[in-house]
Amino acid sequence: MSNEVVHDESRKRFVCTIDGLECSVDYDVKGTTPTSLDIYRTFVHPDLRGRGIAESLLAGITAYAVKHGVTIVPSCSYAVTYYRRHPDQASVLAAGVDLENGGSCRVP
């Protein structure tokens, strides 16, 4: 299954809509350039969980970060888990990110 991930820059989120249900990775911009994207929330509708949607969303924001030369700060617990599972993508993480002691999703 292909989960199309779309960057909604105005809302600072990456979105995937399946069966009319929106799933997202929300981020804050760090730095004035920006230099980092702080992933603070990953949400997949309960009816859609277990289909790899969250992983697709994180892959989308990671690809964006690589393409645009920005780093990622994974504040959300799922984002921390994703980067632990994908050590090959650690180069996109901001300096000082501690994957062993991080991750607490929040609502803005």
pLDDT tens, position by position, 1-58: 457 999 999 999 999 999 999 999 999 998 777 799 999 999 999 999 999 999 999 9
pLDDT at residue 2, as a whole number = 59
Are the beta carbons of 94 and 74 closer than 8 angstroms? no
Residue ranges covered by each domain of the chain = 6-92
How far the first Cα of the chain sits from its last, in Å, is 31
Predicted pLDDT at 99? 85
pLDDT in tens, 75-86: 999 999 999 999
Q: Does residue 90 surpass a pLDDT of 90? A: no
Q: Which CATH superfamily is domain 6-92 in?
A: Gcn5-related N-acetyltransferase (GNAT) (3.40.630.30)
Q: What are phi and psi of 96, to 5 degrees?
A: 85, 0
Q: Which pair of tokens denotes residue 86?
A: 């994908």
pTM of the model: 0.88
Write the CA distances from 32 to 44, 45, 53, 70, integer angstroms: 30, 32, 30, 12
